[in-house]
Structure 1
Amino acid sequence: MAGAFWLALGLIGLSRLADGLDGAVARALGPSDFGGFLDITADFAFYGAIPLAFVLHDPAANGAAGAFLLLSFYINGASFLGYAILAERRGLRTRSHGVKSLYFTAGLLEGAETIAFFVALCLWPAQFAPLAWAFGALCLVTALSRVLMARRVFQR
């Protein structure tokens, strides 16, 4: 928010290290429902904090693109969590992303792509708006693909 993009880049790295360590702890001690809940909640807070910081840094230049990006994250997150809830209700299981507390559906954009996007924003902060519009559009494609998959999988 203050324009310290190199510091932000370092903090992103530290947050991803902490995110990786919590998975290692869960594997060592055994996963818990609360741990899974806390993990996804922290991930979503992180995903919202980065665009918000860019919007607050320069509202005139980044406001509309940042709002669109946050909307796309919101829709994508809802499609992800909605799918996970219905998959759990139906007893579906997958290990394609390793053992997780929630059912993970594949998408065009996932965690690694989002982290790479956030790194790109810190490296080229003046390009926030075009990058946010493009990434937001791809998030909506991911959400739409998940909706179409849910329609196919969850029809009665």
Structure 2
Amino acid sequence: MAKKLGTKTVVENRKARHDYFIEETLEAGIELVGTEVKSIRAGKANLRDAYADIINGEVFVKNMHISPYEQGNIFNRDPLRERKLLLHKIQITQLIGYTAQKGYTLVPLSLYLKDGRIKVALGICKGKKDYDKRDAMLEKAAKRDIDREMKEKYR
């Protein structure tokens, strides 16, 4: 059975784009068990409250929920366990530098398949204030109105 080449987004964290300014993104591998891989391929993962933390020079994802695989029985693991991200030392030291600054955090933005392997898009994010969220919503609504008017005008 040949592996499919290319990328396919499996799960996306839309709430992160609403709650944070995304300064930079980074691709990381993730350490998983076989039944977790099968659940992710089936789309049964949730990144809503997930965040990444650096512990002893290693990066871990916390609060990422991967539902137990239905046919996994005894091989299933805890759905909310910490999972290690696979990064180079240089990348980890850069992340330590970013997170040392006030207000920056690491947030997983999406899980996707790349050449048959599951990868995580890790965002270096700064939190938005309530007024920033309102401004973003107003801009989005204004853009939607302009697009609607243009569509009606040039129909």
Q: Same fold (TM over 0.5)?
A: no
Considering fraction of residues, name the structure with more helix. Answer: 1
TM-score normalised by length of structure 1: 0.26
Structure label with greater radius of gyration: 2
Considering fraction of residues, name the structure with more strand. Answer: 2
